Chains A and B, each alone.
Chain A
Amino acid sequence: MSETPLLEIEDLAVALPTERGPLRAVSGVSLSLAPSRSLGIVGESGSGKTMLARAILRLLPPGARLAGAIRFDGRDLLRLSRRDLRRLRGRELAAVFQDPMTSLNPVLSIGSQIAEALTEHMGLAARAAMARAVALLAEVGIPEPERRAHQFPHQLSGGMRQRVAIAIALSCEPRLLIADEPTTALDVTVQAQILDLLARERQKRHMAMILITHDLGVVAGRTDDVAVMYAGRIVERASTRALFRQMRSPYAEALMAAIPRLDAPPHTRLSAIAGSPPDPTRPTPGCPFSPRCRYARERCRSEAPPLSADSRDHHYACWFPLPDRSRAEV
């Protein structure tokens, strides 16, 4: 990764207001992503993945506090004016959200929801934008795009709607696409199609992508790098190949064991990790995973392990990492 990074995150922290006091959704996250590379972010539900994505998009809930630095193409996103931020979003930085049932406006036609980004950012006239919207619908694999463009979201299936959301995200040829669990809300049969569509479009457009998922199986073979999150922190980061060859953190190992098998019913994920994540409004000293970690020892409960790298740029935060030897079951 010697190239100048497209996205650089340094020591990012996000705190959200709650009735029980500030909730630390993200702590000390540092990341970097080169142009046209892809990064998977994996972690249990509640580990702060969405808040990290929203922090990059500067779309945090009201009252949220941010610390640290996020640089996109050299520009500090936290210092950008609202106007510049708006020019960036949708234009260079696009997003696909988790639930296509709720992420499209129910009272606007599909075509107009794609076209509006084009008129806003590309200065296209209404008619040209609509023609481009129809072409985009075709590109993301929606049959009869002219007819569909005039329909409303409720007239489409979940998978179709997610394709529409992808068409919206791709419309202005962004340089970075953030896809936050784009397949979690979909039928298993549709999931692979959507993931393949994303991978194909990314390559075609030389676009960088952050693919967020709770399922390690989704990033396997699909992204260049992987970062594993737990309790708002990155606990392991490596190239996807290296990570699957050798997991160093006990948490990643547990996640791996929790990959749903094809024969298991959907949404049985993570049943393999016993216990639940710590209360993010009550940070404890020590390693956040220690109450659930089968390797935890005395030190784990008093001191949090820092994220450090081995010789091959494989980062992990663990006092007692798993030994570095290849595993057969990858």
Chain B
Amino acid sequence: MLGLIGRRLAYLVPVILAVTALTFLIANLLPGDLAIVMLGDQATPENVAALHKQLGLDLPLWQQYLHWLWGVLHGDFGTSHRTGQTVLNAIAGRLPVTLELLIMAELGGILIGVPLAILCAVRPGSAFDRTVAGIAFGSLSVPPFMLAILLIFVFALRLHLLPATAYVPLSDSLLGNLRSMALPGATLALLEWPTIMRVLRSDMISTLQEDYIAMARAKGLSPRRILLVHALKPSSLTLVTVIGLNIGRLIGGAVITESIFALPGVGRLLLESIYLRDFIILQGGVLLVAIGFVLVNFLVDMLYAVLDPRIRHGRA
């Protein structure tokens, strides 16, 4: 187990280094002078020269990278020339909203996807199974922004049940916060459950054919215990993997829903920095999001190892 963690950690270092390099390279795709683009109307020769000096834009590319990397390694991801806020502060202020959104999405997806997967796996090929499979397949073809707009149309504009774009911070009111997060959370949860359902269903179907399930039946255990303990527990490993794989897509979904529902999260921060040409925030934000994503995937891998006694005890 410790060896496994060590090997995984050792792999993290080159991946994160490569991520910084790629982020840096993308930031240099910009045609023209970064300083002029960033300064916009205020691009006087003096301002441009000052910004050049501040950003080290006159140095060769590799030196600029090392310079930037050095800062990053010391926690300096840059400072917005527009607001004077550091990238870390800007992200930290927005992170709770995004995390809440992601957790709601994942919980909602599990709450819908897992029971449906179990019910389908119990009678594969039944009318219920085929109906759920059809709905799941159809849901996978719904673009996230479309679903968001549909939910706004139905629940905010027609039924007046929930607000569409009035974000309430958690610190103001728990209920208000949950109400304002309900539609964006539901949007992502409705996009999340089909993958969970599909993977868990096929995994459960094969698990239910295992000898140890026949053995559990031969023991006279209740169907409930057989499904939830004997079948779901081994399959939960797969579930963890799916959730890990889906996080990348879910982060993309968060960018979209935060934009549509006007949530002050990290995704909207990135979009705003694009619209306002705040490239420092964009670069640092993309890097932090990517590092966060890599780390979450690492944690998911570890969770996998913790859940599976065969890996936990140092085999495989």
Residues of A within 8 A of B (CB): 54, 57, 59, 85-91, 94-95, 97, 99, 102-108, 116-117, 120-121, 152, 154-155, 165, 168
B residues 190-216 touching A (CB-CB < 8 Å): 210-212, 214-216
Which listed residue, B218, B221, B229, touches A59 by the CB 8 Å rule? B218
Which listed residue, B211, B225, B233, B310, touches A103 by the CB 8 Å rule? B211
Q: Name the B residues within 8 Å of A87 (CB-CB).
A: 220
Q: Is the CB of B222 within 8 A of A86?
A: yes
Q: Is the CB of A116 within 8 A of B211?
A: no
Q: Is the CB of A105 within 8 A of B220?
A: no
B residues contacting the other copy or chain, number (CB 8 A): 23
Q: Name the A residues within 8 Å of B216 (CB-CB).
A: 105
Known: A57-B218, A97-B214, A117-B220. 5 other contacts (CB 8 A): A89-B218, A102-B211, A105-B212, A105-B234, A154-B309
Minimal beta-carbon separation of A63 from chain B (angstroms): 10
Q: Is the CB of B234 within 8 A of A106?
A: yes
Minimal beta-carbon separation of B283 from chain A (angstroms): 44
Q: Is the CB of A59 within 8 A of B212?
A: no
Q: Is the CB of B215 within 8 A of A95?
A: yes
Q: How far is it, in angstroms, between the C-alpha of A39 and the C-alpha of B315 when the chains are bound?
A: 40
Q: How many A-B residue pairs have CB under 8 A?
A: 81
Q: Name the B residues within 8 Å of A120 (CB-CB).
A: 219-222, 225
Minimal beta-carbon separation of A181 from chain B (angstroms): 12
Q: Name the B residues within 8 Å of A154 (CB-CB).
A: 309-310, 313, 315
B308 at the interface (CB under 8 A from A): yes
Q: Is the CB of B219 within 8 A of A117?
A: yes
Q: How far is it, in angstroms, between the C-alpha of A169 and the C-alpha of B212 when the chains are bound?
A: 13
Given A59-B218, A90-B219, A95-B218, are A108 and B313 also a contact pair (CB < 8 Å)?
no
A105: nearest residue on chain B (CB-CB)? B212
A57: nearest residue on chain B (CB-CB)? B218
B residues 273-316 touching A (CB-CB < 8 Å): 307-310, 313, 315
Q: Is the CB of B215 within 8 A of A116?
A: no
A168: nearest residue on chain B (CB-CB)? B219
B217 at the interface (CB under 8 A from A): yes
Given A107-B234, A108-B230, A152-B309, are A117 and B215 also a contact pair (CB < 8 Å)?
no
Q: Is the CB of A155 within 8 A of B308?
A: no
Q: Is the CB of A152 within 8 A of B310?
A: yes
Q: Is the CB of B222 within 8 A of A107?
A: no
Q: Name the B residues within 8 Å of A152 (CB-CB).
A: 309-310, 313
Q: How far is it, in angstroms, between the C-alpha of A88 and the C-alpha of B218 when the chains are bound?
A: 9
Q: Is the CB of A107 within 8 A of B211?
A: no
Given A105-B234, A108-B230, are A59 and B220 also a contact pair (CB < 8 Å)?
no
Which listed residue, B211, B221, B233, B310, touches A117 by the CB 8 Å rule? B221
Q: Name the B residues within 8 Å of A95 (CB-CB).
A: 215, 218
A83: nearest residue on chain B (CB-CB)? B222
Q: How far is it, in angstroms, between the C-alpha of A150 and the C-alpha of B126 when the chains are bound?
A: 39
Q: Is the CB of A106 within 8 A of B212?
A: yes
Which listed residue, A59, A90, A108, touches B214 by the CB 8 Å rule? A59
A60: nearest residue on chain B (CB-CB)? B214
Minimal beta-carbon separation of A150 from chain B (angstroms): 11
Q: Name the A residues within 8 Å of B222 (CB-CB).
A: 86, 120
Q: Name the B residues within 8 Å of A121 (CB-CB).
A: 220
Minimal beta-carbon separation of B227 from chain A (angstroms): 13
Q: Is the CB of B218 within 8 A of A102?
A: no
Q: Name the A residues within 8 Å of B229 (CB-CB).
A: 108, 116
Q: Name the B residues within 8 Å of A86 (CB-CB).
A: 220-222
